Amino acid sequence: MSPTVFREQGYRFFFFSLEEQRIHVHVRSCDGEAKFWLEPDIRLAKNYRYSQEQLRRIQTIVEAHQDEFTSAWKKHFSHRGD
């Protein structure tokens, strides 16, 4: 299961339900896919085919919605008991 948290500018931001516990968000579009850590600070974890310009644009979106992503993560994974 990979619930969509947010969509903007053709990017889908989502989580994988069975993944590591460190808070992060995945982003996918027709151009590629990336993963950003949200804690302790926002940082690119993985990149598949996005240009540096696209990554800067995506990171700006992630920064603007960090609280929303973090809240959605905690709500989605609250069943884990972490």
Look at residues 2, 6, 19, 4 and name the one whose alpha carbon lies nearest to residue 64. 6
Close Cβ partners of 1 (under 8 Å, ≥ 6 residues apart): 16, 17, 18
pLDDT of res. 14:
95
Task: Say how many domains are in the chain.
Answer: 1
Q: How far apart are CA 34 and CA 76, in angstroms?
A: 20
pLDDT of res. 53:
98
pLDDT confidence tier of residue 64, bands split at 50, 70 and 90: very high
Residue 12 DSSP class: E
CA atoms lying within 13 Å on the CB side of residue 73: 23
pLDDT tops 60 at residue 82: no
How do residues 1-56 score in pLDDT, each as one tens digit?
688 999 999 999 999 877 788 999 999 999 999 999 999 999 999 999 999 999 99
Q: How far apart are CA 79 and CA 34, in angstroms?
A: 26
Q: Is the pTM of this model over 0.85?
A: yes
Domain extent, residue 64, equals 4-80
